[in-house]
């Protein structure tokens, strides 16, 4: 590898490392297409399904705590290589899982790789020129959203290919194992990321931390013009000297009365970002659309719209966040989230369900039509009553296997209203709670305690995310579609009131000015 300075070296290295963001997004959302296949195949109940979906986030809580200290011990590059291997192993093991327990374990392993969410921006921030640091770090965030979107499209195309009856489909077992291919595809970008990381140098900051000054100088020589190498090396040394305070002491400082307000704001924002239900939508998208009575193919196609909307409005946020300010963007976005989830809930609340003879005759021969005859002509005003009747008629297993098809046959609903509500939710979230949350956290805590403070707040964020994913199947089964989205809307109202009361504007203020306001 050349040691000569090239103007775009940092950008190339950042592009490689930010593939970790892409893999995080892909890994997190690819499960959305798998849900409808594994529930009947493994006979999963609501809690088991929630654990399959939420296992990576549970592991991610551990990874968030361990990732940064491990990167300080063995280096950013080595940790990234380990994470790439974890993503690869998880994808292969998930695709080959013979049962529920192995699938949960395989996805838990993949969740350990979610440490890339913190390590990749750390590395990029340490190699990027200061004038381009914000842009280069934001590429990682954009890649996360792109990963979400690509997973939805991959799921859709795998589903359609599995139905094509082409000879190659049967030859590779895609017709009977579509969900395994959905999970296994991730191994390709994960293995590619692992190989590309060998082209990336170690972080110069870590090399200086380990007193490998000559190596740090060589790396800086690739990243910076010759005149900048010496001053930047001294700047890194000075920065590390200031950061020498023990981690435990800085962690204790986070909980001192002086930092109570920023900590409360951070925790409220962390919980609000997840409690409004965004990861339920991301990780169960086709399932939600199937609840509105569309078929499986249409549900998968509509899930791709979530990915597209997410990308568009994340870019909108990147443009507006420094123009409008953090607080206005957050308030507008939260109001939109409240309205959109309420619209989705209202759409589901207006639905009615009635099985008719013609609708029943059009169902698969595998459905026990004789058992369903007592339901013909009966009208149900909500999904809970209809689902209970299906379970009584077909049993738990039969209701799980054929619930989506029977819902499609029986439901009378304004599909467009539900779709607009869901897509509006994603759009408002993508330009407010999504990016503004991360921006706020980088600004409301003093520099000396920012690292441990982000770890504390991140635990609340990840914990809430896991709970949302874990209990969502139970919510649909026990509360119903409408009530579930009204609950998310209610959490949005609480967040809007609390953050509107406590949160100052941070736009245009130096970190020192913000510290004077908040501390």
Concatenate the DSSP letters of all residues of 387-408 into one string.
Answer: HHHHHHHHHHHHHHHHHHHHHH
Average pLDDT over residues 220-236: 73
Contact 186, 26 (CB under 8 A): yes
Query: What average pLDDT does the chain have?
Result: 84
**CATH number of the domain that residue 128 is part of:** 1.20.1250.20
Query: What is the per-residue DSSP string for 131-160?
Result: GGHHHHHHHHHHHHHHHHHHHHHHHHHHHH
Q: Among 164-168, 181-185, 207-211, 223-227, where is mean pLDDT lowest?
A: 223-227
pLDDT of residue 9: 76
Count Cα atoms within 13 angstroms, Cβ side, for 309. Answer: 19
Query: Is the per-residue pLDDT at 343 higher than 90?
Result: yes
Q: How far is CA 192 from CA 112, 172, 187, in A?
A: 19, 22, 8
CA distance 480 to 77: 46
Q: Is 90 exceeded by the pLDDT of residue 63? A: no
Structure-block tokens of residue 306? 């979530």
Q: Same domain, yes or no, for 163 and 264?
A: no
Residue 249 has pLDDT above 80, yes or no: no
The gap from C-alpha 291 to its chain's centroid, in whole angstroms, comes to 22
Q: Is residue 345 part of a domain?
A: yes
Query: Which H/E stretch holds residue 411?
Result: strand 411-412
- For residue 318, CA distances in Å to 102, 119, 131, 363 come to 40, 21, 16, 47
The pTM of this model reads 0.86
Closest CA to 275 of 500, 32, 463, 428: 463
Write down the pLDDT at residue 509: 47
Report the pLDDT value the prediction gives residue 3, as an integer from 0 to 100: 58
Same domain? For 444 and 343 the reply is yes
Select from 279, 265, 267 the least CA-distant residue to 434.
279
Residues 380 and 394 in one domain: yes
Pair 276, 433: CB distance under 8 Å? yes
- Say if 230 falls within a structural domain: no
Q: What is the mean pLDDT of residues 355-378?
A: 79
Compute the distance between CA of residue 264 and CA of residue 394 in angstroms, rounded to an integer.
49
Domain residues for the domain of 134 are 7-200
- The answer to whether residue 237 is domain-embedded is no
For the chain, the first-to-last Cα distance in angstroms comes to 47
Check pLDDT > 50 for residue 235.
Answer: yes
Tokens of 409: 């046959």
Residues 46 and 107 in one domain: yes
pLDDT confidence of residue 158: 93
Percent pLDDT > 70 in the chain is 89
Residue 511: pLDDT band by 50, 70, 90 thresholds?
A: very low
Does residue 462 sit in the same domain as residue 340? yes
On whether both 377 and 310 belong to a single domain, the answer is: no
- Residue 401 and residue 323 share a domain: no
Does residue 432 share a domain with residue 401?
A: no
Last residue of a domain, one of 200, 228, 258: 200
Same domain, 98 and 183: yes
Q: 296 lies in a domain?
A: yes
């Amino acid at each position: 590898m050349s040691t000569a300075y090239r103007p775009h070296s940092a950008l190339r290295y950042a592009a490689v490392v930010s593939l970790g963001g892409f893999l995080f997004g892909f890994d997190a959302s690819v499960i959305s297409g798998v849900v409808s296949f594994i529930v009947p195949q493994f006979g999963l109940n609501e809690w088991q399904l929630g654990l399959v979906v939420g296992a990576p986030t549970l592991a991610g809580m551990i990874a968030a705590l361990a990732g940064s200290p491990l990167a300080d011990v063995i280096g950013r590059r080595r940790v990234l290589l380990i994470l790439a291997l974890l993503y690869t192993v998880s994808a292969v093991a998930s695709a080959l899982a013979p049962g529920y327990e192995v699938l949960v374990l395989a996805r838990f392993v993949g969740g350990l790789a979610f440490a890339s969410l913190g390590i990749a921006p750390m590395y990029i921030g340490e190699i990027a020129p200061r004038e381009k640091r914000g842009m280069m770090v934001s590429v990682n965030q954009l890649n996360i959203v792109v990963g979400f979107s690509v997973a939805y499209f991959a799921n859709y195309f795998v589903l359609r290919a599995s139905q094509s009856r082409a000879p190659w489909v049967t030859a590779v077992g895609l017709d009977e194992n579509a969900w395994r291919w959905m999970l296994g595809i991730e191994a390709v970008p994960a293995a590619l990321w692992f190989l590309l990381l060998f082209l990336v140098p170690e972080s110069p900051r870590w090399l200086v931390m380990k007193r490998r000054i000559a190596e740090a100088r060589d790396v800086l020589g690739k990243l910076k013009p010759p005149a900048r190498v010496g001053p930047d090396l001294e700047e890194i040394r000075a920065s590390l000297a200031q950061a020498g305070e023990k981690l435990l002491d800085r962690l204790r400082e986070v909980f001192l009365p002086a930092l109570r307000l920023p900590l409360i704001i951070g925790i409220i924002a962390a919980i609000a970002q997840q409690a409004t239900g965004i990861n339920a939508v991301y990780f169960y998208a086709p399932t939600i659309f199937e609840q509105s009575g569309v078929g499986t193919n249409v549900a998968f196609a509509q899930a791709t719209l979530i990915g597209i909307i997410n990308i568009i409005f994340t870019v909108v946020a990147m443009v507006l966040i420094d123009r409008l300010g953090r607080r206005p963007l957050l308030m507008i976005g939260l109001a939109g989230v409240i309205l959109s989830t309420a619209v989705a809930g209202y759409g589901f609340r207006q639905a009615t369900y009635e099985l008719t003879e013609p609708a029943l005759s059009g169902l698969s021969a595998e459905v026990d039509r004789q058992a369903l005859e007592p339901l013909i002509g009966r009208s149900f005003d909500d999904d809970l009553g209809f689902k209970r009747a299906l379970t009584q008629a077909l049993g738990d297993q039969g209701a799980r296997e054929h619930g989506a098809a029977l819902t499609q046959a029986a439901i009378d609903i304004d599909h467009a209203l539900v779709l607009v509500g869901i897509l509006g939710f994603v759009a408002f979230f993508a330009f407010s709670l999504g990016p503004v949350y991360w921006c706020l956290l980088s600004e409301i805590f003093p520099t000396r305690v920012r690292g441990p403070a982000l770890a504390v707040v991140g635990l609340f964020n990840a914990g809430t995310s896991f709970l949302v994913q874990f209990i969502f199947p139970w919510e649909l089964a026990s509360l119903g579609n409408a009530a579930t989205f009204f609950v998310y809307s209610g959490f949005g109202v609480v967040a809007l009131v609390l953050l509107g009361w406590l949160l100052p504007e941070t736009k245009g203020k130096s970190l020192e000015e913000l510290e004077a306001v908040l501390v």
